[in-house]
Amino acid sequence: MAADRPALAARSDQEIVALARAGEEAAYRELIRRYQRPVFSLLYRMVGDRELAEDLTQETFIKALNALASYRPEFKFSSWIFKIANNAAIDQLRRREVPTLSIEGSPHASTPEAVEATALQLGDSAESPLEAVEARELGGQIEAAIARLRPEYRACILLRHVEGCAYEEIARILNLPLGTVKTYIHRARHELRQALGHLRG
């Protein structure tokens, strides 16, 4: 019998994975629903190209969902899927130069479509118009500063402070020693502080 949406939404990732392994299609859809935004956000901020991030998100989910049998439930599902996503992003960054992420679109974009595709689209919030403009400006500057970080710093800082992963989890996701992860995050924060020094000082 197929599990319905509200019942699935209340279950843990591990339970959803168990249902998916048992052939429940709704469980696959629930995993996509839960992780599509975090995975897409991570990939978009890593590669800085909307279309590319769309493709990599699709590739990440297909890879993860087709390999559910190899997922070990003692680890968090989020760590597992972030690891697959990060590997996809790193492969892409190694393969070719991707445009810089910017709220105004890539400086290399030659057509309005390309500008739109490379421009960061920030989500809506419940702030006042003035706060929204300020937040958008700050958000845009932070996004631009993150985009200028080295990819390994970028992955660490996004996983730590945007996705809220613990240091140990990041070490597992990126396959790096714990000390290296801490160093990368401290250096990334230092670089970001310098880049954003003129803001809210």
Partner 1 sequence: MTGHPARHLSPDDIDASLAGALGPEARRHLEECSACRELARAERELVRALAALPHLAPREDLAERVMAAVRIPDPFALRALAGAGRRLLRSRRALAVAAGLVVVMLGAMGASVAWTLAHRGLLAALSDWATGEALRWAWVGLRGAALNLLERPELGGVRRLLDAPALLALISALGSLGYMSGVLALRRLLAVPGRARHAGW
Q: Judged by CB under 8 A, which of 11, 28, 76, 132 binds partner 1?
A: 28
According to CB under 8 A, which one of 3, 14, 18, 24 is a site residue for partner 1?
24
Q: Using CB under 8 A, which of 143, 152, 176, 180 touches partner 1?
A: 143
Give the number of residues in contact with partner 1, rule: CB under 8 A.
Answer: 46
Q: Is 191 in the site for partner 1 (CB under 8 A)?
A: no
User: Are the C-beta atoms of 127 and 135 separated by less than 8 Å?
Assistant: yes
Q: How far is the CB of 162 from partner 1 (least distance, A)?
A: 5
Inter-axis angle of helices 25-47 and 50-66, nearest 10 = 140
Interatomic CA distance for residues 199 and 11, integer angstroms: 42
Residue carrying the six token digits 């660490």: 156
Cβ proximity of 40 and 53 under 8 Å: yes
Stretch that binds partner 1, among 85-93, 108-116, 148-156, 157-165 (CB under 8 A): 157-165
Q: Who's near 14: CB < 8 A, 6+ residues apart?
A: 73, 77
29 scored as a contact of partner 1 (CB under 8 A): yes
Give 11 or 34: the residue with its C-beta nearer to partner 1: 34
Structure tokens that stand for 6 in this block: 């509200």
186 scored as a contact of partner 1 (CB under 8 A): yes
Buried b (16+ CB within 10 A) or exposed e, 69-79: eebeeeebbbb
Q: Which residues bind partner 1 (CB under 8 A)?
A: 20-25, 28-29, 32-33, 36-38, 40-41, 44, 53-54, 57-58, 61-62, 65-66, 120-125, 135, 138-139, 142-143, 157, 161-162, 164, 182, 186, 189, 192-193, 196, 200
